[in-house]
Amino acid sequence: MNGCREYRDQLQFQLQSRAVIWRTMATIPITKPVVKVAALCGSLRKASFNRGLIRAAIEICKDSIEGIEIEYLEVEPLPMLNTDLETPAGFPAVVESFRHQILQADCLLFASPEYNYSIAGPLKNAIDWASRPPNVFAGKAAAIMSAGGGFGGAMAQFHLRQVGVFLDLHFVNKPELHVNAFQPPSKFDDNGDLIDQETNDRLKQLLLSLKNLSLHLQSN
């Protein structure tokens, strides 16, 4: 009898202990991973449509997509690529800071107008600095968006994908977002802010795909 009572007491103690553990676990908030995005723009123009796309992307992530944050990185302060500026101690301070921000990001978001079937010079310069050994782009997910005349920067996007092969970037293939900024209805206002709902919806889908691709790469 004493053995049975002892067994019942032990079993009851175990069940009570488990209940306490489960109640404790239930009160611990589940932290979801946050995908950190570094956004780069190839246009320096104040009312740039491509800057406007990045601003819209930041707002979309704040308002309607959980688990993703965008940090806009200025490329204008970077000097023109010149390896004479590299020393045994490293890169110029502004370049070091830029490279560190990209290294800390989970993925990239590029926005660039198209010039001569290619990406804009300021963006190419930033890419060249960040890819100097060691390449801080390697292995990250990336998405491209563009706005302009004609095909909305589609040729620039194609060229950037070619550059991305050497950078070891993993691009979102679908959906694509290249916006003809001059075709009715109006896509941007005078300040370069995105005002077209359809484009906004397409941008949201691009961001969701970028988030999913980044999480997929991180899980492998």
CATH of the domain at 127: 3.40.50.360
61-74 average pLDDT score: 97
Judge whether 23 lies within some domain.
no
pLDDT(7) > 90: no
Judge whether 155 lies within some domain.
yes
Give the range of the structural domain holding residue 124, as residue numbers without chain letter. Answer: 31-219
Judge whether 11 lies within some domain.
no
Tokens at residue 45, please?
Answer: 């123009």
pTM: 0.85
Judge whether 139 and 172 are in contact, CB under 8 Å: no
> Confidence class of residue 24 from pLDDT cuts 50, 70 and 90?
low
> Confidence class of residue 75 from pLDDT cuts 50, 70 and 90?
very high
Judge whether 99 lies within some domain.
yes
Judge whether 129 lies within some domain.
yes
Specify the pLDDT at position 130.
Answer: 98
Is 32 or 67 the better-scoring residue by pLDDT? 67
**For residue 182, what are the contacts with CB-CB under 8 A and spacing of at least 6?**
149
Of 125, 124, 157, residue with least CA distance to 142: 157
Judge whether 40 and 76 are in contact, CB under 8 Å: no
185-207 average pLDDT score: 98
Judge whether 76 and 122 are in contact, CB under 8 Å: yes
Cα 114 from Cα 135, distance rounded (Å): 25
95-105 average pLDDT score: 98
CB neighbour class for 114 (10 Å; exposed up to 12, middle 13-18, buried from 19): buried
Percent of the chain scoring above 70 in pLDDT: 86
**For residue 18, what are the contacts with CB-CB under 8 A and spacing of at least 6?**
none
Judge whether 4 lies within some domain.
no
Specify the pLDDT at position 9.
Answer: 61
> Which amino acid is it at 125?
N
Specify the pLDDT at position 220.
Answer: 83
Judge whether 108 lies within some domain.
yes
Residue by residue, DSSP assigns 5-19 as HHHHHHHHHHHHHHH
Judge whether 8 lies within some domain.
no
144-148 average pLDDT score: 98
When the pLDDT of each residue in the chain is averaged and rounded to a whole number, the result is 92
Q: How many domains are contained in the chain?
A: 1
53-77 average pLDDT score: 97
Cα 216 from Cα 214, distance rounded (Å): 5
